[in-house]
Chains A and B, each alone.
Chain A
Amino acid sequence: MSYLITQGRYAGMIAKANNRSGAAGAAIGPGIVTSGAVGADPIHQIPVGRSFYVTKLMWYHALAGTVLLTFGTLSNAGVPAMVQMFPVQVALANVVGGRIEEELAGVEFMLNSVPLLGWNGNLIVTATLAGVIVAGVQISAEVAEKL
Chain B
Amino acid sequence: MEVANIYDNGPLSLVARIKDTISAYTAKKWTHYQVAFAEPWPRSSPLRVDLVALAGATTIVANTNITKRLVPLLQVTDGEMLCVRFEPLDDVEGVVYEQSGTGRFNSRNNHARVDMATCLRDPYLASTTFFIMGYQRDMNLEAFNPNPIALNQARFQFQGYRYVLDEISPDLTGIVDQSGRADKKKQDDIIRLLAAGDKATVAQFIGPTTWLPAEGR
Contacts and interface: CB of A to CB of B under 8 A. Distances in A.
Interface of A: 9-11, 13, 16-20, 45-50, 147
A128 to B, nearest CB: 26
A147 B117 contact: yes
Interface string B36-47: 000000000000
Contacts of B148: 45-48
B136 interface: no
B147 A16 contact: yes
B150 interface: yes
Contacts of B116: 11, 13, 147
B213 interface: no
A16 B116 CA distance: 14
B23 to A, nearest CB: 38
Contact of B146 (A13, A18, A50): A50
A47 B151 CA distance: 12
A16 B91 contact: yes
B49 to A, nearest CB: 20
A11 B120 contact: yes
B115 interface: yes
A147 B115 contact: yes
B63 A48 contact: yes
A19 B149 contact: yes
B100 interface: no
Contacts of A16: 91, 147, 149, 151
Given A10-B120, A11-B117, 4 more contacts: A9-B120, A18-B151, A19-B149, A47-B146
Contacts of A10: 120
B63 A18 contact: no
B102 interface: no
A20 B149 contact: yes
B149 A49 contact: no
10 contacts: A9-B120, A13-B91, A16-B149, A18-B151, A18-B152, A19-B149, A48-B146, A48-B148, A147-B115, A147-B117
Nearest to A42: B148
A18 B120 contact: no
Contacts of A47: 91, 146-148
Nearest to B144: A48
A49 B91 contact: no
Nearest to A147: B117
Contacts of A17: 152
B92 to A, nearest CB: 10
Nearest to A9: B120
A45 B149 contact: yes
